[in-house]
Amino acid sequence: MKIEKDRVVRFHYSVAEAGGEPVETSREREPLAILFGHGNIIPGLEKAMDGHEAGDTFKADVTAADAYGERRDGMSQRVPKKHFGDQKIAPGMQVVLNTSFGPRAVTIEKVGMSVVDVDLNHPMAGKDLQFDIEIVEVREASTEEVEHGHVHGEGGHQH
């Protein structure tokens, strides 16, 4: 069965910055499960997977624009230090901050006495990425999964 819209895809991946060592992999855990064609993953990876089937392994080069977007200027924000609780923070560190839009990965720029400057760009923004993909399973999605826009059961939402 080929990958196409409204099918569920389970896959393993490793991701690296172009020319670098892998920074993240799913190999030590369960494969990721996504509902294909619903924006569950970055657009460049969806494009690269289209038409593949279970058992396929391939590499995919995804440019920043098709991954987490280009870095944007003016994304710095000054945040009261107390928002970080007891976390030790230093410039360059990536932390998850609870914002009014929900949890968000930010990069610490500068730590002051009572305030912290953070960069709200996604940590992977502006980076071209290389994926190693192994398609584990492709199946039809249930009507309910298509309505919800995500996968239920193994590797997906439990609710």
Minimum distance of Zn ion from residue 144's CB (angstroms): 7
Minimum distance of Zn ion from residue 36's CB (angstroms): 16
> Which of 126, 137, 148, 158 contacts Zn ion by CB under 5 A?
148
Given the rule CB under 5 A, which of 29-37, 40-48, 92-100, 142-150 is the region that contacts Zn ion? 142-150
Distance (Å, whole) CA 14 – CA 20: 12
Q: Tokens for 72?
A: 């944007």
Given the rule CB under 5 A, which of 54-62, 95-103, 113-121, 148-156 is the region that contacts Zn ion? 148-156
Q: Tell me the β-bridge partners of 11.
A: 32, 135
Distance (Å, whole) CA 68 – CA 49: 17
* Order of strands across the sheet that contains 76-80: 76-80, 115-119, 102-111, 94-99
> Smaller CB distance to Zn ion: residue 71 or 152?
152
> Radius of gyration of the chain from Cα atoms?
18
First to last CA, the chain: 27
> Smaller CB distance to Zn ion: residue 71 or 148?
148
- Build a one-symbol-per-residue string for 97-136: x at contacts with Zn ion by CB under 5 A, - elsewhere: ----------------------------------------
* Single-letter amino acid, residue 27: R
The yes or no reply on residue 38 touching Zn ion (CB under 5 A) is no
Residue nearest to Zn ion (CB): 148
Q: Write out the residues near Zn ion by the rule CB under 5 A.
A: 148, 157
